[in-house]
Amino acid sequence: MKNNMGQILFNVVIALFGVFLFKATPVNDSMLLSILAIITIAALLSFGNYYFVKMAALGKKAFQPSYIIDENTFESLHEPEDYLNVMKDLTDYPLCRLEAIKIVEQWNSFIKKSGTLDTISTSGGVYELVNQDVQAVMLNNMTMFIKRTAIMQSSSKSEEINAHKNYLRMLTSRNDKVLKDYTDLLIEVSQMTDSERDSTEIKSLKLIIDSIHDYKTEIESEDV
């Protein structure tokens, strides 16, 4: 009901306008004026509700600014928190709400995993480098998500919007893959002795490094 509040308020206002028109004005004194008033109210209701339905079909809110993402958005991206704040804003944008929520959840999951790795590993070294690479992957996917959302905002055809949404889902799938490898690394590291953790011959460590390498290769070959 919250999503339809604007349309509900619009209809209430028009209804009150109709009551005022017939109760507080001499419209009832003339058959012609009464007919014109009824036609006017019907036209307002028809065009108004059509506008709300059209916006809903495009996944947009009525009277929403045409562009949520602009050049200032990208200029403000300096720290991870800046990226996260934009993603949180996009959770209110109907066209990519679910995908934006997913990205935010994935980032929060990464932060927890990163803290866990710090706790169970006695030193930084290769683990710290891997952690930095995973963070870079997450932030880069957020950047591409925001860029694609900026393009999506100017799209009007449903097939274009669906294609953009598929791209956003692909980004979240990439995050899922890297986070799964990260989880496997945590599990393996937690089962090792201190001396074993210093080894680079860890199966899950190699897997996540390969996963990040494959990710970078895909990015280089893409034309976003």
- Residue-wise pLDDT for 157-187, tens only, equals 888 889 999 999 999 999 999 999 999 888 8
Would 63 be classed as within a structural domain? no
The total of other beta-carbon atoms located within 10 Å of residue 34's CB is: 14
- Domain contains 189: yes
Of 146, 171, 154, residue with least CA distance to 72: 146
The pLDDT of residue 20 is above 70: yes
Record the pTM.
Answer: 0.67
Q: Which amino acid is at 111?
A: I
- The domain of 31 spans 2-57
Q: Would you say residue 217 has pLDDT above 70? A: yes
* Predicted pLDDT at 191: 81
Does residue 150 sit in the same domain as residue 119? yes
Are 18 and 52 within one domain? yes
| Residues 119 and 16 placed together within one structural domain of the fold | no
Q: How far apart, in whole angstroms, are the C-alpha atoms of residue 205 and residue 130? A: 8
Q: What span, in angstroms and rounded, lies between the C-alpha atoms of 47 and 168?
A: 33
Half-sphere exposure of 134 (CA within 13 A, CB side): 30
SS3 68: coil
Flag whether 181 is in a domain: yes
Say if 105 falls within a structural domain: yes
Under DSSP, the state recorded for 56 is H
